[in-house]
Structure 1
C-alpha cells in the first residue's frame, strides 16, 4: 500500500507526495533526493519504461545500474497518456500530489492538459517543476542532452590538456547539477506555499545550470572579460594545485594559501622555497608555475605517493592519491562515510544519500522498482484517497 512515510522514523519531507513524470537523469536524481528525505514519489513511466532501463551494460540481475543509481524509494506505474483511462489516472495523481515534476519537451504536455498554464489553473496548490535542456524560448527546440550542455556552456573547452580539442566530464555532471537545482527550487516553492497556500511553476534548464555551475570560470568572463582556456589539471588561480609526480605515481596537491605552501615546503625539506620571491605568494607561484612544478617534483621523486600523502595529511596539507572509482568507494568506507547502503528487502546496493540529519531519518526502504511494479497499489491508493 502507498504511504506518505514508508520508513519508521519520519523524514523531513514526510507527507509530501511527488508525481514524477521525469525520465533519464536530472529529474529522477531530484526525485530520488526527495524520496530519500521521506516524500512519497510515484514514478510515472511510459509503457516502454524509462530510457535508462535499457542503458546497459553494466547490470545487476538484468537491471541497468544506471537506472538503479537514481530510482530507489519510488513507487512505479506505467501510463500511456494517449489512453483516456491512463490520462484520467495521471490527473487523479496530480490532484493528490504536492509536487509535479517533468522533463518533457516544451509544449509536449499541452495536449494532455498538463502544461504549466493548465496545471496552474486546475491545480493551484501544486508545485510544478519543469526541466528542459535550453529553456523555453530560443532554445526550446534543442534536445536536452547533458553532453550538448557541456559543449555549449564551455565546459568542454576548458577541460583537457591545452593541446587537445576539449574533453567532456566523466559523468553527466550538468544533469546532476540541474537535478540538484530542481530539488532546491522545489523545496523553496514548498516553503513559500506554506505561507501563501499557493503552488507555482518553477523552471530549470541544463544550460543555465551549467553556466551557474561553472562558477569562477563563467565569472572570469562575465565579470573580468577573461576567456578561460584549457589548462589540463592546473588551476587558473592557484599553484601548486593538481597532480605532481612522485616516485611511483602522481599525487594531488591542493595548496590554497601561503601558509599551506610553507607547510608543504617544510615537509619536503625545502623550506627556503617559501621565502623565494618566485614562490612566496600565490600570484608569484602562478607566474612561475612551471618552474615550481619541476622544483617540487625533484623532491617528491624520492618517495612513493602513498608515503607522501600519509605524511602530508598528518600536517594538514591538502593532498590525495588518484583513485579509481572502486578505490574511492573503499576510501570513503575506510574513513567512516558508509558510502554503500543496502536498499529494500532485496538489499540492492546503492550509493548513500549525501545529507546526514541529526534527528530525521533518510530512507533506504524500497529498491528501484521494476516497470509498473506498483500499479495496483497506486490505483487502490488513488481510489481510496478519492473516496
Structure 2
C-alpha cells in the first residue's frame, strides 16, 4: 500500500472588520453603530467599515461621499495605525505560541502552517478554535479562520462563516468544494477576470475544471496554469515566515482633480523621488515600472513597462513613467496617481513544478 501522501495543515486567520472593530473596542459609544475608518474628508476613501455599516453597502476603498449617501447615520473615525499595529502584535504573539511558520499578509490576517506544531495537536480545526478564543480573551476582538490543505483553499474557507466563525475543508472535500464554488469566490479572481470567465461560460469551479490547460493559458496567459491547478486542489506555495518583498510603491490623492498632463508630470516627479527614497532605504532596484491612474469616477487603470536593466533612480523611474503617461490619452480628469516598481533584484528564480496528482478522495486525515 505504501505511505499515504502527507498534506500540510494550513490555517488562514482573518480578523473581522479589524480597524473598525478596534475603534469600537476602544470607544464603547461606537459599539453597535455603523462606523467607517477614514474617508471623512470631501475626497476621503473608507479604509474599513464595521459590520453595521456593511449592511448599508458601505465597503473599504469606497468614496466617503458615497458611503455617506448609502448610510446617512454613518460615523467617520480617523485612522490610528499605531494602535492597529499594537493590537496586531498581540495577535501574532498568539500565533507563535503554536508555530513559527507564520506568514503575515497584513496587520489583520496571516497564514499558519500547523502540520507540526508546538502543542503537538494533530487537529488544525481545534488549533484554529483555540487561537480564535485566545484572540477574543486577550484583545476583545473576533477572528474568523479557514483550515485546509493549502493556502489557497484556507483563504477562501476563512470567508465562509464570517464574522466570528471558521470553516474546515479536509483533503477529501477540497475538490468537491471548489467545483461547487462560484469562480468569483476564488482568491485572485477579480472583477475583470470574473466577467471574462462568465463570458467564456465559466461560472463555477466545475466549469473551470472542464477547460484544458491550453484553453486557460490561451485566454488568461500565465494565470491559466494557476487556475488549472488550484481548481484541482493543487497549490504548493509554502507558508513563508519571511516574505520576499515583491514590489514597492508610492501614490498621491489630489485635493482637486487634475486634467493637465503637465501638472500630472509635476506630481509624478514628486512620487518618483519618494519611490527612489524607499528603494534606497531597502537597498533594492527593479525592472518593471507601473503607473497607477485613478479617474474622477473612481475607475482604475494601470500601465506597465519592463526594462532590460534594474533601476532605482528617480530620473530613470520618471523617464519610464513619462512614456507610460503619454501612452494613451486620459479619458477624464485624475484624482490619484501612483508609481510602483516590481520585478525586484531580491527575487530568486522560480523553480518549475509539474502538477502533482489530484487529491485522493479516499484519504482520511485528522483535520
Greater RCO structure (CA 8 Å; 6+ sep): 1
Name the TM-score, length of structure 2 as normaliser: 0.23
Name the TM-score, length of structure 1 as normaliser: 0.22
More helix by share: 1
More strand by share: 2
